[in-house]
Structure 1
Amino acid sequence: APMRDPYTISGPRVLLSTPSYDWERVGWAVNEGPEVLHRNGKTFVVYSASGGTTPDYALGLLTNTTGNLLDPKAWTKSPVPVFSQYKGPEGGVYTPGHNGFFRSPDGTEDWIVYHGKEKPEHTWGGRLARAQRFTWGADDAPIFGHPVPSGVPLAVPSGEGGARAITGPGKGTGLQARYFGKKDLTDPKVTRLDPSINFHWKFDAPASSLPTDGFSARWRGQVQPRYSETYTFHTYADDGVRVWVDGKLLIDDWADHPAAANRGAIALQAGRRYDIRIDYFDNLRDARLLLAWSSPRQPFEVIPRSQLYPPAAAAPARRPAPANTKPAARPKPKVSRR
């Protein structure tokens, strides 16, 4: 509704969203708790959907790109939740919702705060306040990833007093990405540099030249750890994904399935660059992929651009020495003197 001031409505209310998808109707039909984000002239409303006691309570997203906030037709609803229950090797988070947002003290990071439970019980009890960092997509939409389970270390917001510095930032620019029109990594369509791998394409395609279903991608380059210790690489993918680091296959989940978590570990040395390759395919409907890492001193995070590099340039081929076209000199005859 239009407002004369922050406290007074000055016109009729406009209905923007009702529970229209199945995932908004689990337990009971709910759209509630809207929170607003703005970025580059676009407005986003993040809301909670489904029954608040169910494990399926989740966050939905409305997007407005016209600036006409009172026109219901100017809003687009995501066909899938943008933040929902998670179950992985590290544990589970259920009922994530009723969110809010804040910036880190130094203004460089965006964070989401929400409630979630560790068990999939259909009760109000057990919900705990949680917070984690989120990023933005190329379309300016927020990308929340998945709820991070309790016990997984996270870096505190940047600039917070007493924060432990993450040492050894690199100077990377991202990984080389090739996108294919078919899900078997054939029919190349797009080559570009992706600064990190944290995508939620939903029912869309990564580029206009790609189909919305049945595409695939391959990222290649190098990754540079900050510490000398065993690193765990994490993926959250819908659908299939494989990850190689230093020539070793750490994650092999080449199958069609809803979003699923996988991980694999390898010992790495600080500052050294290791070859990395990630293959991915989407079959139908929702499409997403996240690549993160963690170690004893490295808090769980999406691997940042600073630690990812395009493939190392091949050393230039050495030119063979020019052939000697001159005839070989004849040995001089020996002259004996008496």
Structure 2
Amino acid sequence: MEAQPEPMPLPMPEQAASPEAAAPAANGLYGEYFSNMQLSGSPVLMREDAKLDFNWRQNSPDPLLGIDFFSVRWSGLIKPEYSETYQIYTTSDDGIRVWVDGSLIIDSWTKQSGTERVGEISLSAGQLYEIKVEYYENQGDARVRLMWESASQSKGTVPASALFLPAGV
């Protein structure tokens, strides 16, 4: 009787790395609120904000802050649905700056009333990009809004589902 060869185990196919980045579990951006217009010193308030669509008018975002002369730095990740060029819009009263993936795309660090600004950046679907938004309020009305638009997506507020808290928050 001839010896039968041992069956060879079939090699397991390697899973292809997904082109989409795994999103962190928590949606929103991390906000650091300062009691001055320069984002200096230690924040008096740190919180998670689901999205940036605030119209405080002549009120304060929180009792820890005054109604005027404050600033906020939001940080986190943004995940687009489409691979194309996006227009990133802000409406703010007063100053605003926006960085996406380390590129400053909106720079309007000036006293202004309810002004819309726009920047442009190419993004890939499903990829996570670092985003940082800095805002300051001088006097009077206070508001800030972050929006986006692309060829496949109509203009609207960046939803919480596309924003993610930074690691370690």
- Which residue of structure 2 lines up, in the alignment, with residue 274 of structure 1? 129
Are 1:183 and 2:37 counterparts? yes
Are 1:310 and 2:162 counterparts? no
RMSD between aligned residues: 1.4
- For residues 241-284 of structure 1, the C-alpha deviation after alignment (integer angstroms, 9 at most, x for no partner) is 00000000000000001110100010000000000000000000
- Identify the match of residue 204 of structure 1 among 38, 59, 70: 59
- In the superposition, the TM-score normalised over structure 1's length comes to 0.42
Runs of 4+ in 1 over 3 A off after TM superposition: none
Are 1:174 and 2:31 counterparts? no
Shift of 1:185: 0.5
- Unaligned runs of 5+ residues in structure 2 are 1-22
**1:227-266 superposed matches below 5 A:** 227-266=82-121
Shift of 1:172: 5.0
Q: Which amino acid aligns with 1:256?
A: K
Do 1:233 and 1:265's aligned partners in 2 also have CA atoms closer than 8 Å?
A: yes
- Taking a change above 3 Å as real, the CA distance of residues 263 and 172 of structure 1, as seen in their structure-2 partners, is farther
Supply the distance in 2 between the matched residues of 1:247 and 1:299 (Cα, whole angstroms): 25
Shift of 1:299: 1.0
- Unaligned runs of 5+ residues in structure 1 are 1-169, 315-338
Are 1:225 and 2:103 counterparts? no
Supply the distance in 2 between the matched residues of 1:305 and 1:245 (Cα, whole angstroms): 16
Do 1:198 and 1:289's aligned partners in 2 also have CA atoms closer than 8 Å?
A: yes
Do 1:172 and 1:306's aligned partners in 2 also have CA atoms closer than 8 Å?
A: no
Do 1:172 and 1:305's aligned partners in 2 also have CA atoms closer than 8 Å?
A: no
Do 1:200 and 1:288's aligned partners in 2 also have CA atoms closer than 8 Å?
A: yes
Shift of 1:189: 0.6
- For residues 116-164 of structure 1, the C-alpha deviation after alignment (integer angstroms, 9 at most, x for no partner) is xxxxxxxxxxxxxxxxxxxxxxxxxxxxxxxxxxxxxxxxxxxxxxxxx
Question: Aligned with 1:299: secondary structure?
Answer: strand
Supply the distance in 1 between the matched residues of 2:153 and 2:26 (Cα, whole angstroms): 17
Identity of aligned residues (%): 41
Supply the distance in 1 between the matched residues of 2:168 and 2:119 (Cα, whole angstroms): 27
Of Structure 1 and Structure 2, the greater strand share is in 2
Shift of 1:199: 0.3
- For residues 43-78 of structure 1, the C-alpha deviation after alignment (integer angstroms, 9 at most, x for no partner) is xxxxxxxxxxxxxxxxxxxxxxxxxxxxxxxxxxxx
- Which residue of structure 1 lines up, in the alignment, with residue 16 of structure 2? none
Are 1:293 and 2:164 counterparts? no
Shift of 1:313: 3.9
Q: Which amino acid aligns with 2:166?
A: P
Supply the distance in 1 between the matched residues of 2:122 and 2:106 (Cα, whole angstroms): 15
**1:87-126 superposed matches below 5 A:** none
